[in-house]
Amino acid sequence: MNTILYPPPALRQPGHIEPCVDMLGRPLTDLRISVIDQCNFRCTYCMPAELYPSDYPFLPSSERLSFAQIETMARAFVRLGVDKIRITGGEPLLRKNLEQLIEALARLTTPDGRAVSIALTTNGSLLAAKARSLKNAGLDRVTVSLDSLDNGIFQRMNGVDFPVDKVLHGIEVAQAVGLNPVKVNMVVQKGVNDSQIVPLARHFRHTGVVLRLIEFMDVGGIGAWSRTHVVTSEAARALIAAEFPLVSLGEGKPLLHETASRYRYLDGGGEVGFISSVSQPFCGDCSRVRVSSDGKLFTCLFAQDGLDLRPQLDSAQGLESLLRRHWQRRGDRYSEVRGALAQASGRKQYRTVRMSLVGG
């Protein structure tokens, strides 16, 4: 593993804290916090309505981490090397007074004095109303999930007939208030919304919005999954490139610690990304950790069990050494392992935690 990542002793600043690396040499840089497991959508690939009826036993608010607990936890992670925090869910904008949490997180600085970047992933339904206050609270960037421009397809996929125009408006408002670059995540399912790949690419070219196409994954909580429903990044890219020629920004692979393979349009129309979690699962430089809304730590989206942090959230010192030890013991490469199993059989092979609890 490449140790050039870390400042050599001669270049270390006063107050330098030894970076925290796992058993495969991967540093801890990226924290995703799920602030709520509930959602106002029922996306067919995440929380299908038949599995998540209105009386589904979501976490009661008393079992969610409080903002003070999240801040304590985030502060410890930042001391260990985290410089990017993403707020997610469920639908994070359903959490009341989220701006207060963002204000607290935006004040964090790394041991060498840099600001921590704060991003949010949302379905966009409440974004137009909240973008300004989120920006004022210190949010840097936003990623909006949007699977179709066609209203009928979008309404079927979000499971609650939510109109696409409102999400598009939310994206415009987010751009206008400066939550840039706005990214749009599209989960592509064969025969469901693959007709929308080129229309979405066309729509967001020359707008500054970065569209990212995500392969439909076998995440927890969705019941049946089959590889036959996956449109590979390669296939999606070929569709786009046939109309709008593309140039790779990273030899067809994600850049260090990134999830998407990035491309730019040859004519200067902007950027588009592809997340190949199924066809090219890659754990090699994964530097992400996730915390569920009830305070469990997951070092991989495809892990089955999390480490309960709540008993440790009263002591910052104890928490930091627990997190350091836990990361140092990490050897996960579930994505690659599960990818090999799913490739071989074409079907899901094991249980994983539900996406809406641990966040995407």
> Which stretches of the chain bind ligand SF4, using CB under 6 A?
39, 41-43, 46-47, 89-91, 123, 145, 356
Q: How far is the CB of 162 from ligand SAM (least distance, A)?
A: 11
Q: How far is the CB of 345 from ligand SAM (least distance, A)?
A: 18
CA 205 to CA 240: how far, in whole Å? Answer: 11
Closest of 353, 351, 223 to residue 297, by C-alpha = 353
Q: How many residues bind ligand SAM (CB under 6 A)?
A: 21
Closest of 91, 147, 157, 164 to residue 122, by C-alpha = 91
Q: Which partner in ligand SF4, ligand SAM, none is near 88 (CB below 5 to 8 A by kind)?
A: ligand SAM
Sequence-separated (6 or more) residues with CB below 8 Å from residue 233? 213, 215, 261, 274, 275, 276, 279, 280
Q: How far is the CB of 268 from ligand SAM (least distance, A)?
A: 27
Q: Which partner in ligand SF4, ligand SAM, none is near 359 (CB below 5 to 8 A by kind)?
A: ligand SAM
CA 134 to CA 10: how far, in whole Å? Answer: 40
Helix (H) or strand (E) holding 240: helix 233-243
Regarding 145 and contact with ligand SAM (CB under 6 A), the answer is yes
Q: How far is the CB of 206 from ligand SF4 (least distance, A)?
A: 27
The amino acid at 265: Y
Ligand-binding annotation for 20, yes or no, is no
Beta carbon nearer to ligand SAM, 24 or 341: 341
* Residue 101 near residue 41 (C-beta atoms within 8 A): no
Residue 53: how many other CB atoms lie within 10 Å: 8
Ligand-binding annotation for 170, yes or no, is no
Q: How far is the CB of 125 from ligand SF4 (least distance, A)?
A: 8
Only one of the segments 5-13, 73-81, 168-176, 209-217 lies at the binding site for ligand SAM (rule: CB under 6 A); that segment is: 209-217
Ligand-binding annotation for 145, yes or no, is yes
Residue 257: how many other CB atoms lie within 10 Å: 15
CA 200 to CA 215: how far, in whole Å? Answer: 15
Regarding 164 and contact with ligand SAM (CB under 6 A), the answer is no
Q: How far is the CB of 116 from ligand SAM (least distance, A)?
A: 20
Which residue in the set 22, 91, 271, 332 belongs to the binding site for ligand SAM (CB under 6 A)? 91
Q: Which partner in ligand SF4, ligand SAM, none is near 185 (CB below 5 to 8 A by kind)?
A: ligand SAM
Beta carbon nearer to ligand SAM, 145 or 312: 145
Ligand-binding annotation for 90, yes or no, is yes
Which residue in the set 20, 33, 46, 142 belongs to the binding site for ligand SAM (CB under 6 A)? 46
Q: Which partner in ligand SF4, ligand SAM, none is near 162 (CB below 5 to 8 A by kind)?
A: none
Regarding 148 and contact with ligand SAM (CB under 6 A), the answer is no
* Residue 129 near residue 114 (C-beta atoms within 8 A): no
* Residue 335 near residue 302 (C-beta atoms within 8 A): yes
DSSP codes joined into one string, 39-57: -S---TTTS-TTTS-TT--
Regarding 335 and contact with ligand SAM (CB under 6 A), the answer is no
Q: How far is the CB of 141 from ligand SF4 (least distance, A)?
A: 17
Give residues 217-256 in contact with ligand SAM (rule: CB under 6 A). 217, 219, 222
Closest of 197, 184, 203 to residue 235, by C-alpha = 197
Phi, psi of 38 (to 5 degrees): -85, 160
Query: Helices 151-158 and 164-177 sit at what angle, rounded to 10 degrees?
Result: 90
DSSP codes joined into one string, 241-264: HHHS-EEESSTTSPPTT-SSEEEE
Regarding 352 and contact with ligand SAM (CB under 6 A), the answer is no
Give residues 10-39 in contact with ligand SAM (rule: CB under 6 A). 39
Chain residues binding ligand SAM by CB under 6 A are 39, 45-46, 88-89, 91, 121-123, 145, 185, 187, 214, 216-217, 219, 222, 355-356, 359-360
Residues at the binding site for [4Fe-4S] cluster are 39, 43, 46, 283, 286, 300
